[in-house]
Structure 1
Amino acid sequence: MSAQTPDLATAQGATQNSTADTENAHQRQVLLLTDSDQPTRDLVRAALARLGYQVNLVDNGIEAIGCFSPTKHELVITDLHLPDMGGLDVLRKVKLLSPETPVVVLASNSEVNDVVQALRLGASDYLLKPIADEGVIDHALTRICEARQLAEQNREYREQLEERNRELRDHIALLQRDHEAGRQLQQHLLPRTPYQYPAGIEAAYRLLPSLYLSGDFIDYGLFGERFVAFYLVDVSGHGVSSALVTALIKHSIMHMLRERPLFSQLDTIDKDITDILEMINRELLSTHLDKHASMFVGVVDSRARQLHYAVAGQVPMPALVTSDGAQWLTGKGRPLGLFQQGGWEVCHCSLPASWRLVACSDGVLELLPGDLLQREAELLAKIEHSRGDLTSLCGALKVNGVESYPDDITILTLRQDERS
């Protein structure tokens, strides 16, 4: 019932404070419909009055429906046998006018089927005549009171839940807008793909984040007329924090490029590569973000057909595809952001007239079955079968950009064909 309706303890105390009950009677009114069964009517009426209700007594259905008010009457009690219409009809009309108003039916033992029908139509309870004990009335009203209070609490909980859901939806929408803005910014920082350099080297990539933002990042560029430098970095974790670290790495490299020329002289290329790794390692350690990264940095000398590169915790290793097939590059070095010294070494590899270089982030391995060694072997086989072609390799790995992936996926390819 409403907040003004007494529970059982209040109802029992009502007999000791009839003055207060009389003052609040207009707030607790009940509509009682009975036939000429005088003892039952008087017993129910007396019990209702004792419990603090003001009773509006009518003896026919038409008059009851005419005076019924959902805002006035908290309860309707109707006999199933009335002189002008059935109590079930009264029940239907009351429920039509006010589905929330509880209705109790009075019935004799011979009207059990009608009682079942009344309960199906929404009756809250029933009382069987003759009523010998007022306690059954107290019990019925207590159940109705508790049910109404529970319904009111549920309504309040639903309203609170709906409000929380609205707030959550608004918050999610705001996060999505922020993530979409971050995604567009990160996409803007990436280089064009594919890109053809004057030296006849083509660079291309496919980057698919597992969330809105990626912890993977790549970049490449031409230095002078003969050196094409590139890198692939895979920051631990996912989402915004990892994406911000990729932006930090790009910013740091660009800042380093402004301070001094990189990859401009053959005799300084190896030092430039290790300087980049050491600088990023210091940056990650100094941020205290608990982030580390794997990285592959390389420089192709198009004139000397030489690849200079270093790896920092790179898994899987980059693969070189030539006419002899595909093979992993060699090299070692610790991940960035974990140790003061990474032990990075610059390796060199001679390049034939036609070659393909494929570097992948470790998310690609998640697309393949088996243990790590089996996945690496399967990936190398797919790289060889595709001849290092980005589109063919993405097709073989079923990387289409539509599905969601457990980890960020990045594939970087560089290629050079023999000139006629």
Structure 2
Amino acid sequence: MAGPSSLLLTDDERSRNFLRGALSRQGLSVAVADSGQQGIEQFTPELFQLVIVDLLLPDMDGLEVLRKIKLRSPATAVVMIAEQGELHEVLQAMRLGACDYLIKPIQQAALIDKVICRITGAENLAQQNIEYRNTLEQRNSELREHVEVLRRDQEAGRLLQQHLLPRSPYFYPGGVEAAYRLIPSLYLSGDFVDYGLFGERFVAFYLVDVSGHGVSSALVTALIKNSVMHRLRERPLFSQLESLDSDLLEVLELINRELLSTGMGKHASMFIGVVDTAASQLHYAVAGQIPMPALASAAGADWLPGKGRPLGIFERGDWQVMCAELPSSWRLVACSDGVLELLEGDLLQKEERLLELISATGGELGVLCESLKVDTFGALPDDITILTLAHV
């Protein structure tokens, strides 16, 4: 009887040769495809237990190959090959069902063996899926009682989450207006926003998007809110110019630790910042944010630069604190990734269209929501949140 088989999709000769050797050492037969189309044509769910896909293929996006494989065979294990600068794409691949990833240059045989053993070790994939479901059930056991309460009385849960949200719009000294629109795809939302005035000149804010939606994700937003408020009670944050950058990093590190320690398997993207109304500056950091926040002015709109890993996945996030000079009239627009589901095209086309709409509307919340057809879209595939801050 033939042993387990694997399918390797990459035109990178170095990676292909290295992986073929590693797979063979683990007892897998290896079929190779140089393009996405060739790999899709070769793929047979009954034949291949493992598929390794390069994000960069000569004829199509590796994410599209992943989607097609998962559509045909959701249980097939898929590992992505990525470049160092493709962390956003890796996160998207994990959301689409990839079980692991390898970063080029692929040089460590032990790391590859570990990934392969975790997927194809002594137990077959069906048994691993059972173990995964059991593990997930165990991780959710601590929340089961709370989830049942929310299911029995969802209206109370929704009112509670709305109570935790800030007022919108809200006007701060220095002429700064903060506002948001949050529409859950289900009764409760995995998105959350908050803002507040610190000292006499600093308006701090954040937008967080927890993976998934519904009750469990909503509970994580409450955990994040509680963690931030508890830290603020312990010591003052966002009240001194010289400590703004370290304060932003402290909040990201806090939430990252909280998510890792819960064992719930939840991760989150986040945009956090402070507007210095006296100096007309924006200090901010991003953690896996898709799309990036945009700054609109009379000259148009542009994405803000910055990068950082999502929260709840990595021990270290490599977050960067950035500083942007603000013009006399400006509007900052941050969106959860659910907004992209309202637009057509691939990821780059959606982001380009969103930036065009922000520029055309000046980032004004009501007009932007109308342009995106937020209220008339129908059933929403994901939670949608738009946060704006503006000098008015």
Larger Rg over CA atoms: 1
Q: What residue ranges of structure 1 are gaps of 5+ in the alignment?
A: 1-172
Q: What residue ranges of structure 2 are gaps of 5+ in the alignment?
A: 1-147
Contact 1:300 1:308 survives alignment (8 Å): yes
Partners of 2:238 and 2:149 in 1: how far apart?
43
- Opposite residue 297 of structure 1, the aligned amino acid is I
Q: How does 1:138-157 map onto structure 2 within 5 Å?
A: none
Contact 1:314 1:335 survives alignment (8 Å): yes
Residue 362 (structure 1) aligns with = 337
Q: Please, which of 354, 357, 360 is the counterpart of residue 382 of structure 1? A: 357
Residue 54 (structure 1) aligns with = none
User: In the alignment, is residue 180 of structure 1 matched against residue 155 of structure 2?
Assistant: yes
Q: How does 1:406-417 map onto structure 2 within 5 Å?
A: 406-417=381-392
Partners of 1:197 and 1:401 in 2: how far apart?
32
Partners of 2:165 and 2:332 in 1: how far apart?
19
Partners of 2:271 and 2:378 in 1: how far apart?
27
Q: Please, which of 221, 229, 232 is the counterpart of residue 246 of structure 1? A: 221
Partners of 2:150 and 2:297 in 1: how far apart?
46
User: In the alignment, is residue 229 of structure 1 matched against residue 194 of structure 2?
Assistant: no
Residue 337 (structure 1) aligns with = 312
The offset of 1:403, in angstroms, is 3.2
TM-score normalised by structure 1 residue count = 0.57
Q: How does 1:311-330 map onto structure 2 within 5 Å?
A: 311-330=286-305
The offset of 1:198, in angstroms, is 1.5
Partners of 1:292 and 1:370 in 2: how far apart?
26
Residue 275 (structure 1) aligns with = 250
Contact 1:333 1:344 survives alignment (8 Å): yes
Structure 1 segments, 4+ long, off by >6 Å, are: none
Residue 374 (structure 2) aligns with = 399
Contact 2:150 2:156 survives alignment (8 Å): no
Partners of 1:349 and 1:305 in 2: how far apart?
9
- Aligned residue-pair number: 245
Contact 1:216 1:361 survives alignment (8 Å): yes
The CA RMSD over aligned residues, in Å, is 1.4
The offset of 1:400, in angstroms, is 1.6
* 1:151-209 deviations in Å (ceiling 9; x for gaps): xxxxxxxxxxxxxxxxxxxxxx9966522211110000000000011221000000000
The worse-fitting range, judged by mean Cα deviation, of 303-312 and 175-184 is 175-184
* 1:225-273 deviations in Å (ceiling 9; x for gaps): 1000000000000100000000000000000000000001000000000
Partners of 1:324 and 1:312 in 2: how far apart?
27
Partners of 1:253 and 1:401 in 2: how far apart?
34
Q: Matched residue of 1:207: which SS?
A: strand
Residue 46 (structure 1) aligns with = none
Residue 290 (structure 1) aligns with = 265
User: In the alignment, is residue 256 of structure 1 matched against residue 263 of structure 2?
Assistant: no
- Opposite residue 278 of structure 1, the aligned amino acid is E
Partners of 2:152 and 2:384 in 1: how far apart?
23
Q: Please, which of 152, 167, 172 is the counterpart of residue 197 of structure 1? A: 172
Contact 1:208 1:401 survives alignment (8 Å): no
Identity, % of aligned pairs? Answer: 71
TM-score normalised by structure 2 residue count = 0.61
Partners of 2:367 and 2:238 in 1: how far apart?
31
Q: Matched residue of 2:315: which SS?
A: coil
- In structure 2, do the counterparts of structure 1 residues 401 and 299 end up closer, same or farther at CA, with 3 Å as the change threshold? farther
Partners of 1:265 and 1:316 in 2: how far apart?
29
- Opposite residue 391 of structure 2, the aligned amino acid is Q
Partners of 1:175 and 1:381 in 2: how far apart?
40
Q: Matched residue of 2:153: which SS?
A: helix
Residue 193 (structure 2) aligns with = 218
* 1:127-166 deviations in Å (ceiling 9; x for gaps): xxxxxxxxxxxxxxxxxxxxxxxxxxxxxxxxxxxxxxxx
User: In the alignment, is residue 307 of structure 1 matched against residue 282 of structure 2?
Assistant: yes
Q: Matched residue of 1:221: which SS?
A: strand
